[in-house]
């Protein structure tokens, strides 16, 4: 058992993790013609909780309970992984990336997210407003505008040969490159880094 725990806490190579993620698409299609995606679960929660007659939330959300159970399982799995079987080693980051991030004030690689940005102290500050509120709004708006999130388009949409998903994924990637290379520095300066 100890060897299994040691094995599972190590980072998995792409040739194991990638196919496991990719296999969710045919499994969901075979089991019940279901589409993989996470962002639609927010719509289902709103449809469950909002009794108003808003047309966007007026549909049979009970038929999509499998999606809610999937998201719940992701949350539980993430909690178990982070609490009980997380890798104790410092995250490996390329030296060139470390230099670029150090110029922005990010030097702690002990967690999955930069501690200098994502911590409770920053929640009610200008940093928190920019990275959590504004960033969250942009992600939510982009997800709704694109008709789905990156996982839905890149994993499900492309594998089922949907041209809009190819276009959406290309623009997700372009947005990430532009933000990383051109917007991250000014945003960090604005937030006080």
Say how far apart CA 42 and CA 67 lie, in whole Å: 10
Say how far apart CA 103 and CA 185 lie, in whole Å: 9
Say how far apart CA 187 and CA 117 lie, in whole Å: 12
Buried/exposed 88-113: b ≥16 CB within 10 Å, e otherwise = eeeeeeeeeeeebbeebebeeeeeee
pLDDT of residue 93: 85
Tokens of 169: 């994924």
State the residue for tokens 């372009």. Answer: 174
pTM: 0.70
What is the maximum span of the chain, computed from C-alpha positions, in angstroms?
A: 54
| Tens-level pLDDT at each residue, the chain (193 residues) | 778 877 777 777 889 888 888 888 888 888 888 877 788 888 888 888 876 778 878 888 888 888 889 889 989 998 988 888 877 777 788 898 889 888 888 888 877 788 888 888 888 888 788 878 888 888 888 887 888 888 788 888 888 888 999 998 999 899 889 988 888 888 778 777 6
Say how far apart CA 175 and CA 42 lie, in whole Å: 23
Q: Are 116 and 105 in contact (CB under 8 A)?
A: yes
Say how far apart CA 54 and CA 30 lie, in whole Å: 33
Domain boundaries, the chain: 1-89, 93-193
State the residue for tokens 């991030």. Answer: 101
Residues 6+ away with beta carbon under 8 Å from 6: none
């Amino acid at each position: 058992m100890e060897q299994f725990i040691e094995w599972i806490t190590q980072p998995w190579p792409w040739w194991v993790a990638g196919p496991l993620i990719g296999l969710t698409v045919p499994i969901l299609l075979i089991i019940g013609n279901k589409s993989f995606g996470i962002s639609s679960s927010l719509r289902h929660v709103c449809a469950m909780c909002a009794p108003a007659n808003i047309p966007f939330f007026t549909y049979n959300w009970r038929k999509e309970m499998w999606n809610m159970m999937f998201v719940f399982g992701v949350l539980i799995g993430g909690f178990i992984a982070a609490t009980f079987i997380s890798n104790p080693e410092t995250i490996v980051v390329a030296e060139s990336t470390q230099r670029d991030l150090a110029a922005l004030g990010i030097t702690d690689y002990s967690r999955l997210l930069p501690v200098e940005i994502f911590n409770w102290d920053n929640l009610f500050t200008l940093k928190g407003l920019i990275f959590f509120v504004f960033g969250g709004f942009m992600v939510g708006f982009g997800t709704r505008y694109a008709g789905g999130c990156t996982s839905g388009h890149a994993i499900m949409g492309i594998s089922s040969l949907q041209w809009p998903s190819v276009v959406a994924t290309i623009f997700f990637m372009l947005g990430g490159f532009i933000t990383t290379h051109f917007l991250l520095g000014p945003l960090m300066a604005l937030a006080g880094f």
